[in-house]
Amino acid sequence: MIARAFMRGFDHHVIAQSAPSFAPFEDLIQNDENDIDFTVKTSQGQKRMELSEVAPLKEHGGTFAKAPRSISTKEKAEAVVELVGKKSLRQGDVNRFLVLYATEQGFKVDVPTVERLRRHFQKTPPKFERVFFAGIHANLTTSFVSELFPGTPHHWLAEMTDAQLDGKSAAIHPFDMQVVFGEITAPLRVFYDGRPTEAQMTMSASTPLDFLHHLQKQT
C-alpha cells in the first residue's frame, strides 16, 4: 500500500526532482522477506526499491500517541540522516533507491528539510542511486513526494544558510490550524527573465492558516 501510494504521488509531482525521472512505474513485485522490499520497472530500467519509515519515537514521544505535532528542520534532518546511513550500509547499491515515508504529521519532511538534506547528501552521498521521501496522505492511497538525493536546489530556499533552514518548519499540524478571516499579506520572491524580484502577495481568506502564512510567522 505504501509503495503504491508513493508511485501515485510520484506520477503527479516530485519536489526537487533530478533528471531523468524514474516515472512511469510498472510491474511492482514484492520480494522475499529477507531481500530488499520491491522490484519495479521504471523509465530507466528495472530498479529495486527499499521502504523505511521516518519515526524517531525514541527521541520524540516514545509512542505515536505521544509524538509531537511538529519538530524542527534540524531535528527532522538529523533523524533522516541517521536512518539513511543505516539503510545505506545494509541495502544501498547501484540500481537501488530508497523511499522514506511518514504517516505521523510531525515527522513528515517539509520543503526546508528537503533542501537541508539535499545539501547534506551532496557532501556525504548514500550508496543508493536516489533517495525519496513520501508524505503519505490520510487515505493511504497517494502521497506528496520529494527527492532528497541527488535532488535539485530549491528556487528560493537554496539562498538560505543551513542555520536559517534549521530554525524553520513549514509542517503545520491540522489540529494547530487557525481559521483566518480577512487579508493575508506575505513576502514573495518571483523570477522575471531569470532574475529574482522581491514582491508581496495579498490574499483574501476565510480558510485554515496556510503554508505561506505559517512560514511568515517564523521569519
Q: What is the pLDDT along the chain (219 residues), one digit of tens a residue?
A: 899 999 999 999 999 999 999 999 999 999 998 899 999 999 999 999 999 999 999 998 899 889 888 888 999 999 999 999 999 999 999 999 999 999 888 899 999 999 999 999 999 999 999 999 999 988 888 999 999 999 999 988 988 999 989 876 655 555 555 555 566 666 766 666 666 677 776 666 554 444 434 443 443
The pLDDT, as a whole number, for residue 166 is 85
**Domain boundaries defined on the chain:** 2-166, 177-218
Residue of 189, 179, 214, 186 whose CA lies nearest to 202: 186
- CA–CA gap between residue 36 and residue 84 (Å, rounded): 15
Say which amino acid occupies 118: R
Sequence-ordered alpha helix ranges (H) in the chain:
2-12, 73-91, 111-123, 162-166, 211-218
The pLDDT, as a whole number, for residue 53 is 96
Give the CA angle between residues 158, 161, 163 to the nearest 5°.
135
Give the CA angle between residues 164, 155, 21 to the nearest 5°.
120
C-alpha cell at 179: 481559521
Contact yes or no for 173/106 (Cβ under 8 A)? yes
Radius of gyration from C-alpha coordinates of the chain: 18
The pLDDT, as a whole number, for residue 193 is 64
- CA–CA gap between residue 82 and residue 86 (Å, rounded): 6
Burial 11-23 (b: 16+ CB within 10 A, else e): eeebbbbeeeebe
The pLDDT, as a whole number, for residue 215 is 41
Distances (CA, A) of 163 to 16, 20, 47, 83, 118: 20, 31, 36, 22, 15
Distances (CA, A) of 127 to 55, 86, 88, 101, 122: 22, 11, 5, 19, 12
Packed helices 73-91 and 111-123: angle between N→C axes, nearest 10 degrees: 50
